[in-house]
Structure 1
Amino acid sequence: MTRSLKNVLAFKSYQNQAEVLVRNYVLADPYIPYTSVLGGILTCKLVYDLTQLISTFYFRSYNGLTKIQRIEWNNRGVSTLHAVFISIMSVYFVFWSELFSDHNSAGLITHRNSPLSTFALGGIHSSFWSFDFWQISVGYFFSDLGMICWLYPSLGGVEYIVHHFLSGIAVAYSMLTGEGQLYTFMVLISEVTTPEINMRWYLDISGLKRSSAYLINGVVIFFGWLVARILLFVYMFYHVYLHHAQVMKMHIVGFLLVFFVPLVLATMNVLWFWKIIKGLKKTLAKRK
């Protein structure tokens, strides 16, 4: 037997052992919330460090930033990656998965959940060759909240603290109890606007505020915000109205979260949207 064949067999053996470990422990129902959150916390740190390393070598403007600006640069790298994965998972569960479909007769829609949906709220899993990649939502919101409080007000004001705190509480409750996961995913679709918001900050800090990319980014933010953070919230409130009888059967905590958290976030989204409109009008006026 050649050495290369032995190496392949040894690798397969280790891979099989890893798969057994993942199946019997990591993806076992009682451990899903905890393993996904733990793995996600480690991933947040990994992505933060990778963003710092890559930016140091490939972005000239990065090395000229202040310490606070570099921290925010790295932190936005983490939030962008989280937003991409949680948006994809949320769109899947809300619009394509049969789990929350009205045609599915498997119990109340407010109490439906699955190992994958629970794991998605605690973390996002995707394959890259033979490696597993983890990214959390619960851990992300609270770790980012910690960064905002630690460096307050450099990374955001009171509105960001309120947003992250309410989002973290709602996602954690839905993940641990299995209640209201559909409405949690509806709200999390709004994260689709986060990469554009972060890109706008990157363009601004890199001195590209007068570029065409900055203008296009502003237009994309306008339409993305309108769809994901205004119209989608209207659809969510309408969905709650249609399924009011099922929502009323939730635990009192879940019931309050379904009504209170989206209402507060929707109000904040409208206020931010007004600022976006004024900013876009100002940018277009300067172009003319």
Structure 2
Amino acid sequence: MDPFSQLILAISVTSFITFQWLFHKVSPWISTCISPGFLCLSDKQKVEWNSRTVSTLHALLVGIFCLYIFFFDDAVNEDPVWGDPTLVKTNVAITTGYLISDLLLIFYYWKAIGDKFFVIHHLAALYAYYYVLGQGMLPYFANFRLLAEFSTPCVNQRWFFEVLGYPKSSRPNMANGVAMAVVFFMVRIAVMPIYYSRMYAVYGTKAFYLVPWGGRVAWICSSICLDIMNIMWMHKIARGCYKVLRLSHWRKACAPQENGKTD
């Protein structure tokens, strides 16, 4: 094993240990200090709270790293299949450690946070990342997929509001819900044409045929699998936002009126 591969393995293991530590130790302590309502949650809610706190930290870390690569890593942007994967592999190693950690927590706390779609999502991502980390291929596309993590903090913030007692129709939760839907759409749905057009541009080139069959399957099938789930989640989010906005409009219309004006 070459020294860089050893470094990537070390980063993945360190990432796994760090996110386990954040879940079991740091999140409960910080959450208690910042939000007294955390102590009033049920055990299942505390598990999900800690899980979402950790996923938010992971999303912010790798998301910022992704943006840097996207704008400043010329080697990856010029050669999306075989460009220098050093920075991308580092970022993917961090995510790999997180995904394995999260899978372990999902299985262990299945009654609280178990979700078959998250399991499929994590396994599909890990399957693709195996080729990125092992052979350094497709760095541009691996980095592009990680940009989707920017939707995670908004999704989690909305859940935090709801579990702390904010009604869905309250202004803070409504504003966060709309922001969540917009961000989710922008980083997971609106970017699909860009992603697949770049994939189509690469298809059939010499660089493409240098990718082994397993790598092609991991790249194409994992991308389609992840985007099907993104569309399903977007549909669910859109329906939720529509219901909340309708409820808010109905309550406003039914509010007591005085002198012809809504109170």
TM-score normalised to structure 1 length? 0.80
Please say if 1:286 is aligned against 2:243.
no
User: Does 2:90 align with 1:119?
Assistant: yes
Task: Establish whether residue 99 from structure 1 lines up as the match of residue 75 from structure 2.
Answer: yes
Give, in whole Å, the separation in 2 of the partners of 1:285 and 1:258.
40
Q: Is the 8 A contact 2:8 2:89 kept in 1?
A: yes
Aligned to 1:30: 5
**Following the alignment from structure 1 to structure 2, what is the Cα–Cα distance between the partners of residues 57 and 109?**
44
Matched, 1:190 2:148: yes
Aligned Cα root-mean-square deviation (Å):
1.7
Runs of 4+ deviating beyond 3 Å: none
Equivalent residue, structure 2, for 1:47: 22
Paired position in structure 2 for 1:90: 66
Counterpart position of 1:77:
53
Residue in 2 that maps onto 1:14: none
- Please name the residue that 1:64 is paired with: 40
The residue aligned with 1:243 is: 202
| 1:163 corresponds to | 121
Deviations 1:154-194 (A, max 9, x none): 31421111111111222233122201121111111111101
**Which secondary structure state, in structure 1, belongs to the residue aligned with residue 191 of structure 2?**
helix
Stretches of structure 1 lacking an aligned partner (at least 5 in a row): 1-26, 103-107, 123-135
Matched, 1:208 2:159: no
Amino acid at match of 1:29: F
1:50-90 Cα deviation digits (max 9, x unpaired): 11111123312111111121111111111101001111122
8 Å Cα contact 1:110-1:180 kept in structure 2: yes
Q: Secondary structure at the residue paired with 2:74? A: coil
Residue 149 of structure 1, CA deviation: 1.9
**Partner residue in 2 for 1:110:** 81
Question: Distance between the aligned counterparts of 2:179 and 2:208, measured in 1?
Answer: 34
Q: Secondary structure at the match of 1:101?
A: helix
Partners of 1:233 and 1:262 within 8 A in 2: no
1:159–1:30: structure 2 CA closer, same or farther, 3 Å change rule? closer
Aligned partner letter, 2:65: M
| Shift in Å, 1:217 | 1.1
Q: Give the match for residue 175 of structure 1.
A: 133
With structure 2 as the length reference, what TM-score do the two structures score? Answer: 0.87
- Aligned counterparts of 2:137 and 2:173: Cα–Cα separation in 1: 41
Gaps spanning 5+ residues in structure 2: where?
Answer: 250-263
1:260 to 199, 221, 239: 221
Q: Closer, same or farther in 2 for the Cα pair 1:144/1:225, shift >3 Å? A: same
Pairwise CA distance, 1:38:
1.8
Q: Distance between the aligned counterparts of 1:88 and 1:64, measured in 2? A: 33
What is the alpha-carbon distance in structure 2 between the residues aligned to residue 168 and residue 30 of structure 1?
Answer: 17
Q: Which moved more, 1:185-194 or 1:56-65?
A: 56-65
2:257 matched residue in structure 1 = none
Q: Residues of 1 paired with 2:88 and 2:63: CA distance?
A: 13
Provide the residue aligned with 2:236 in structure 1: 275
Where in structure 2 are the equivalents of 1:10-29 lying within 5 Å?
A: 28-29=3-4
- Number of matched pairs: 244
Q: How far did residue 224 of structure 1 move?
A: 1.0
Query: In the alignment, which residue of structure 1 is the partner of 2:252?
Result: none
Q: Distance in 1 between matches of 2:34 and 2:82?
A: 47
Task: Provide closer, same or farther for how the CA distance between residues 101 and 111 of structure 1 changes in structure 2, counting only shifts above 3 A.
Answer: same
Identical residues among aligned pairs (%): 24
Residues 1:85 and 1:58: Cα distance change in structure 2 (over 3 Å): closer
1:211 deviates by 2.6
| Higher helix proportion (structure 1 or 2) | 2
Assess if the C-alpha contact under 8 Å between 1:219 and 1:280 holds in 2: yes
Change (3 A) 1:36 1:85: same
